[in-house]
């Protein structure tokens, strides 16, 4: 479990830019050891309170924000994780524990589960703010790492959303785009500083750093009236 806050920078890129970045990054960084050259599918079931507090905090840019999600990779329900992601200004950290599919089913059904640090917060929100599953986000990810500087760079595209939360563990969701399908997201995660060669890559085509939440984008894509939270 990672308890350290790290810098996280995000950039909205065209698919053409993402492909060019992939070529450059693959020549100077290593592929994530869990991923092939073609990348992998990330599926996340996001939870929120009855009054959508996490969504409101994200849309309104609160200095401290958090979210809970169950995540799988390539549809593998044998390797599920419950994650709590926290943001403090531009710093992020992620705490997680592995889940068995039975535990995931119970969480989705609204049951109270194990007594660990993550579950304590999760269970408290279930009791006090009726935390419940809201949407599923799917996307394709390519990931690159520099272990010497503890840098991880990801390229995400085909970002889609579904509100069929009951089908999350069955991989049978019907999805729609959560953002313009001609664009994707570049994320850069690091501890304290970026080496010069990464800074040079980020100058590529004048990439502009922006705040972006896949969860918020997905919720608004399904219901544009949620913009009232602003």
Say which CATH number the domain at 86 has.
3.20.100.30
Name the band, by pLDDT with cuts 50, 70 and 90, for residue 85: very high
- What local confidence, expressed as pLDDT, does residue 207 receive? 86
DSSP 109: H
pLDDT at 116 over 80: no
Residue 200 in domain: yes
| Distance in angstroms (rounded) separating the CA atoms of residues 178 and 73 | 19
What is the total count of domains within the chain?
1
Query: Can you tell me the mean pLDDT for 4-14?
Result: 95
Q: Select the more confidently predicted residue: 3 or 223.
A: 223
Higher pLDDT, 115 or 162: 162
Which pTM value belongs to this model? 0.93
Residue 206: band (very low, low, confident or very high) from pLDDT cuts 50, 70, 90: confident
Give the tokens for residue 225: 């009236």
Measured CA to CA in angstroms, residue 181 lies from 20, 92, 157, 209 at distances of 17, 26, 8, 19
Residue 17 included in any domain: yes
């Amino acid at each position: 479990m990672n308890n350290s806050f790290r810098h996280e920078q995000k950039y909205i890129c065209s698919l053409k830019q993402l492909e060019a970045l992939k070529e450059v990054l693959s020549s100077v960084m290593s592929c994530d050891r869990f991923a092939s050259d073609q990348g992998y599918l990330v599926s996340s079931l996001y939870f929120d309170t009855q009054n959508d507090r996490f969504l409101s905090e994200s849309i309104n840019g609160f200095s401290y924000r958090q979210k809970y999600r169950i995540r799988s990779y390539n549809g593998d329900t044998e390797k599920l994780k419950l994650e709590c992601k926290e943001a403090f200004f531009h710093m992020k950290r992620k705490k997680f524990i592995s889940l068995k599919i039975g535990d995931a089913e119970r969480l989705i059904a609204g049951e109270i589960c194990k007594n660990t640090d993550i579950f304590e917060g999760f269970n408290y929100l279930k009791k006090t703010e009726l935390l419940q599953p809201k949407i599923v986000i799917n996307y394709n990810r390519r990931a690159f790492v520099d272990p010497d500087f503890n840098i991880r760079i990801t390229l995400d595209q085909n970002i889609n959303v579904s509100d069929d939360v009951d089908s999350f563990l069955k991989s049978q969701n019907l999805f729609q785009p959560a953002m313009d399908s001609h664009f994707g997201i570049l994320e850069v995660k690091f501890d304290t500083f970026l080496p010069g060669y990464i800074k040079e890559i980020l100058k590529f085509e004048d990439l502009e750093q922006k705040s972006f939440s896949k969860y918020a984008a997905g919720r608004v894509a399904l219901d544009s009236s949620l913009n009232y939270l602003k």
